[in-house]
Homo-oligomer: A and B are copies of this chain.
């Protein structure tokens, strides 16, 4: 099939419009007009405008959560895990920028039934991060004076905020940005011993040096 499916076209168009004008700044009429569809076509594919919003949320959070869990399983030390999660998380901005914008701007407007499901996955994602930090402290790789939750939310916030300013095709690639983030975060978490330790600093330098 050469033509894209209607559902896909609707989602793409909605995403583009929501990102720019906000969920409430875009009417269903506008979405269907802009992708050469109709009200009927829209409501054949979605139960409601809310369901479309949910769908967008779900695609993104599901992806991010999976990536984080994969990274957790793939690596074994807290530092490596953290780096891998950061890297994959940041890279999502190239793939899902519009999703992310909608996710963080419009989640207020999700109907309770939907937001419950989304929040569950969101919570799981946070827990993966907290877990890594906790293990890092226990292993002596991360500074023990750091409170896990706040540190975790700092990292998440720092990365999430990217959606407010990141422009794909800008002067810096997403990989370069990811490196800066990793560098900043490792500098603030690692203990002096960990920075010295061979294997950790080797991993650190190999992947994230500026030289």
* A residues neighboring B (CB under 8 Å): 21-25, 105, 108-109, 145-147, 150-151, 153-162, 164-165, 172, 177, 180-181, 183-185, 187-188, 210
In the assembled complex, the CB of A37 is this many whole angstroms from the nearest CB of chain B, namely 24
A181 adjacent to B154 (CB under 8 Å):
yes
Taking CB atoms, residues of chain B closer than 8 Å to A153 are 161-162, 164-165
Among residues of B, the one whose C-beta sits closest to the C-beta of A210 is: B145
With A158-B154, A161-B153 in contact, is A24–B109 under 8 Å at CB?
yes
Determine the main DSSP class of A at the interface with B: helix
With A22-B109, A108-B25, A188-B188 in contact, is A150–B177 under 8 Å at CB?
yes
Taking CB atoms, residues of chain B closer than 8 Å to A184 are 146, 151, 154, 188
* Cα separation A23 to B23 with both chains bound (whole Å): 12
Sample (10) of A-B pairs whose CB atoms are under 8 Å apart: A25-B108, A105-B105, A105-B108, A145-B210, A150-B172, A150-B180, A154-B161, A155-B158, A157-B161, A158-B161
Please pick, from B146, B157, B181, the residue contacting A160 in the complex, using a CB distance under 8 A: B157
In the assembled complex, the CB of A147 is this many whole angstroms from the nearest CB of chain B, namely 6
A180 adjacent to B154 (CB under 8 Å):
yes
A180 adjacent to B161 (CB under 8 Å):
no
B22 adjacent to A108 (CB under 8 Å):
yes
In the assembled complex, the CB of A23 is this many whole angstroms from the nearest CB of chain B, namely 8
Interface centre among A21, A24, A180, A184 (most CB of B within 10 A): A184
Taking CB atoms, residues of chain B closer than 8 Å to A159 are 157
Taking CB atoms, residues of chain B closer than 8 Å to A25 are 108-109
